[in-house]
Amino acid sequence: MKDLLTWIGTLPALVQIPVIIIIFLAAATVVVLLIEIAPRPGRVYTIIRFAACLVVPGLILLLLGSVWWAIAAAIVLGGAFFLLDYRSRKGAGYLFALIGFLSPAIVLLIVGLVYPTIATLYNSFLSNRGAFIGFDNYLWIFSQDHNLVVIRNTIIWVLIVPVFSTAIGLAYAVFIDHSRGEKFFKILVFMPMAISFVGASVIWRFVYDFRPDNRPQIGLWNGLVTLFGGDPVNWLQQVPLNSFLLMIVLIWVQTGFAMVVLSAALKGVAVEQIEAAQLDGTNAWQRFWNVQVPAIRPSLIVVLTTISIASLKVFDIVRTMGTAYPDTGVIANEMVTLLQKFEAGRSSAFAVILFLLVLPIVIYNARQIQKGREIR
């Protein structure tokens, strides 16, 4: 994609416009053709559908350079075309169609997920020069105080951020539900989700900013402190307060996500259940805790697990705000730092540890989804 845009930029200004229009029309034509021919029965259309499952992800990989977007496209196209082909065949050739249409997605998953996982695990047993050293990288991680602080911080992030983000988002969703100006209030809270983690970090750096040598304070917190006669504080140098101050940034960003999901879940709670509980003489808190919360439990699990995984993988916030401050490191940031120092084995060991921390959350979420399907 970058090369294509660079090439278009080299063309004369009057030529660029028709070239962009032609590319857009070509993409639109391909989409229309796929939509038009997808439902048709017959061997020829089956071959066309299968070719689309190969060509479209390949083009996405070529233009965007992203394996994950290619995998997503392959899965969506493969699943959709399999269902359409299955219906057009009226159930004939089920296994062949399933393998044929999903094989591009399986190949991309192997290339983009399975192989990197195995390679990372293997590299974690190697030295910086490629020699096999067994578990020495893991022993180094757990024998250094700095690394233990990094692991401790990561665990604290995943314990605090999801709970506070979900609790604040849920409380906000409950209080503004069916209120006047509900949409406006939701937009205010959801707006940080549109900001990148780097952008959010820059905003909050101005909140925590500290100026030494009696210079005017431009940070919001220090501005309030000096306004009331206090001395300015270098907030991000205060251990362990600085780690919690960084967590506030992720909580601020993720609260909007929690609020939107849980607000939609609350609106799906049957009114009859709430009215029945009200007739039984329960107060508002009892109705909320005993009726609404159990009803939205699947949504709560999804929100908590999603934010937990985001907390485990947090990198941008710490990299932007906390690199120069003591005891603020997390595993993802440490991985990149070690890799930049050409210590690939130790970086891979940290990656394996991060994978092991994420794995229980993913397994728990998958089991809850399976239980939900069994109940339905």
The amino acid at residue 175 is F
The amino acid at residue 214 is N
Please determine, for residue 45, whether its predicted confidence score (pLDDT) is greater than 70.
no
Strand pairing partners for 126? 132
pLDDT for position 186 = 86
Please determine, for residue 287, whether its predicted confidence score (pLDDT) is greater than 70.
yes
Torsion, CA 36, CA 40, CA 45, CA 49, rounded to 10: 60
The amino acid at residue 276 is A
* Cβ neighbours for 229, distance < 8 A, ≥ 6 positions apart: none
Does this model's pTM top 0.75? My answer is: no
- Output phi, psi for 104, to 5 deg: -60, -40
Residue with tokens 């997808």: 38
Q: How far apart are CA 308 and CA 346, in angstroms?
A: 24
Please determine, for residue 78, whether its predicted confidence score (pLDDT) is greater than 90.
no
Most confident of 26-30, 125-129, 363-367: 125-129
The whole-number average pLDDT for the span 308-327 is 84
pLDDT for position 358 = 87
